[in-house]
Amino acid sequence: MITFIVSIIILIIGYFTYGKFIEKLFGVKEQRPTPAYAKKDDVDYVPMGTWKNSMIQLLNIAGVGPIFGPIMGALYGPVAFLWIVLGSIFAGAVHDYLTGMISIRNGGAHLPQLAGRFLGKTMKHVVNAFSVLLLLLVGTVFVTAPAALIADLTPAWISLGVIIGAIFVYYIAATLLPVDKIIGKVYPLFGALLLISAVGIGGGLIVTGADIPEITLANLHPDQIPIFPLLFLTISCGALSGFHATQSPIISRTTKNEKNGRKIFYGMMILEAIIAMIWAAAAMSIFPAGELNSILAESGPAGVVSEVSMLMLGSIGGTLAILGVIVLPITSGDTSFRSARMIIADYINVKQLKITNRLWIALPLFVVSIALTQIDFNILWRYFSWANQSTAMIALWVGAMYLGLQRKPHWVATLPAIFMTMVTFTYILNAPIGFGLPMNLSYMGAGLVTAAAIVAFAYTLRKRLAGGVEIEVDEKVPAAS
C-alpha cells in the first residue's frame, strides 16, 4: 500500500515540478495566436475552454490502454509501478506536451507533417502510413473491447453484432460532425463518469486496506516473460503511448492559449497514469499472479475489469465503474477515426469544410475496420502495441529535433527516444509477429539500429544548425531534406 500511495504522490509532484520545467524549457508565448483562432473553420479548428479541452484530451488518449495494459502488466509484479511513474513523468507526459505544443506552433499539424518538417520528407510518408495503421488498429480494438463489456450488461437477445454496429454508427457521426457538436458536448459528462469510476476503485483499495505489493525489481510473471522489452509495450497508455501523438493535434486546433498546454497535455497524461496505477494495483491485490493469468487467458482484461468492479463496489457501484471503463475506449475510438480522417486529408491536401469531403475519406476507414473486427483481439493488441510504441519513438525524435533546432536542451526528449528505439526494435526483431530472432541477436540488432539513430540525429541536427536556423519564429525553421 505504501508503494501505491507514494507513487500517486510522486506523479502529482511530477506535474508541478518536471512539468513546469518542460513548460519553461519549451518557452510558452501567451500573446501568440493559436490555430484555433488563426485557422478557425468551425469544423476542426474551434476555440474551446481549458476544462473542456482537458477532458476531451484525457478521454481521447485514455482508451482501454490505461486499464487493460496495466492489468496485463500486473503479471510482472510491482516493477510495473516503476514504469508507470517514471515513464509517465519523464517520457509520456513530455511526449504529449511536446507533440501538442509543436503542433500548435505549426498550425495544428499532425505527426506526419511534423515528422516531414523536422526529420525529413521520407519520414513524412513513413509516419503517415504508421499513423493511419495505428489509428485503424486503435479504432478496431476500441470497438470490440467496449462491445464485449456492454454485452455483459445487456439482455442476451441484444447480440454482440448489434452492439458493434451501434458503436460504429456513433463513430461515424463523431468523425464527420464538427468537433464541438458531439465530442465537445458529451465528453465532459463522460469524463466525470470516468473519474468517478477511477476514484471509486482507488478509494476502495485504500479504505479496505488492500494488500497491494510493495516495490521490487523482480520479474514475477508466471511465465517468466522478460521485462525488457515486453513490459514497455504491454503498458503503453498510462506510461508512454504513441497513440497520444495522433490525438494531441486534435486539441492543438481547439486550444485558446499556449499557457494552457501544461494542463491539457502534460497534466492529462499524469492523470491517465494515476488511473493506470489504480487498475494495476487492483489487479495485483485482488488476484494472485497465477489466478490473474488464468482469468486473462479465459476472458481477457475485460473479465478482470468486471470482477474487480463488482467485488469492490457491489452491483450498482460496480456497474457504474464498468460504465466508466466502457466510456474510455469509445471516446478514443471515435477520435481515432477522426484523427485518421484529418491526417489523410492533410496528406492529400483536401479541405474538410464540406461534409462530402469528410465522408469519402472516412467511409473506407470504417470498411477496413469492420473487416479487422473479425481478427482475434490478442493478435490485434500485439500489432497495436508495436505500432503504438514505434509511433511514440518517432514523436520523441521529432520533439528532440525541434528542441535542438531551437538551441535548447533536447535531452529531455532524446533520452526517452533512445530508450524506446531500443525497446521497439528489440521487440520486432524477437517477436513471432516480427522476425522471430533469438533474444540475444535481437538485443544486438536493436543496439545497432539505436546507435545508427543517435548518429543520424546528431549529424542532421549539426548540419541544420550549421546551415543557419531562425530560432525565434518557428514557421521559418527549414524543413529537413
Segment 107-125, tens digit of pLDDT:
999 999 999 999 988 888 8
Instruction: Name the nearest CA neighbour of 393 among 19, 104, 123.
Output: 123
Return the pLDDT at 378. Answer: 65
Q: Does a cis peptide bond (omega within 30 degrees of 0) precede residue 329?
A: no
Q: Tell me, what's the pLDDT at 293?
A: 85
Cα–Cα distance list, 462 to 113, 298, 396, 413, 465 (Å): 22, 53, 18, 17, 5
Q: b or e along 173-201 (b: 16 or more beta carbons within 10 Å of the residue's beta carbon)? A: ebbbebbbebbbebbeebbebbeebbebb
In a domain, 462, yes or no: no
Answer yes or no: are the C-beta atoms of 237 and 62 closer than 8 Å.
Answer: yes
What pLDDT is attached to residue 472? 40
CA separation (Å) from 16 to 48, 219, 266, 270, 399? Answer: 24, 32, 10, 11, 21
pLDDT tens per residue, range 148-178: 778 877 888 888 889 888 888 888 888 888 8
CB 200 within 8 A of CB 321: yes
- CB neighbour list of residue 339: distance below 8 Å, 6 or more residues apart: 110, 131, 135, 246, 247, 249, 250
Cell numbers representing residue 18 in the block: 518536471
- The angle formed by the CA atoms of residues 412, 5 and 50, to the nearest 5 degrees, is 55
Residue 121 counted as domain residue: yes
* Residue pointed to by grid coordinates 482484461: 301
The structure's pTM equals 0.88
- Residue 342 is assigned to a structural domain of this protein: yes
Q: Is residue 448 part of a domain?
A: no
Whether 477 has a pLDDT exceeding 50, the answer reads: no
Torsion of CA 420, 281, 331, 392, to 10 degrees: 0
Structural domain contains residue 318: yes
CATH of the domain at 35: 1.20.1740.10
- Structurally, the chain folds into a number of domains equal to 1
Residue 152 falls inside a structural domain: yes
Q: 469 vs 68, which has greater pLDDT?
A: 68
In whole angstroms, give the CA distance from residue 118 to residue 306. 44
Ramachandran class of 204: left when φ > 0, alpha when ψ lies in -120 to 50, beta otherwise: alpha
pLDDT of 104: 96
**C-alpha span between 120 and 468 (Å, rounded):** 17
The pLDDT tens digits for 218-241 are 998 888 889 999 999 989 888 999
Residue 71 falls inside a structural domain: yes
**pLDDT number for residue 401:** 96
Digit-coded pLDDT (tens) for 129-152: 878 888 887 788 778 777 877 887
**Contact in structure between 44 and 253 (CB atoms under 8 Å):** yes
Sequence-distant (≥ 6) Cβ neighbours of residue 475 within 8 angstroms: 105, 106, 107
The answer to whether residue 340 is domain-embedded is yes
Q: What is the mean pLDDT of the chain?
A: 87
Q: Is the pLDDT of residue 51 over 50?
A: yes
pLDDT reported for residue 392 = 94
| Full residue range of the structural domain in which residue 145 is found | 2-384
HSE on the CB side for 204, CA within 13 Å? 23
In this predicted structure, the answer to whether residue 84 has a pLDDT above a threshold of 60 is yes
pLDDT tens digits for range 390-417: 999 999 999 999 999 999 999 999 999 9
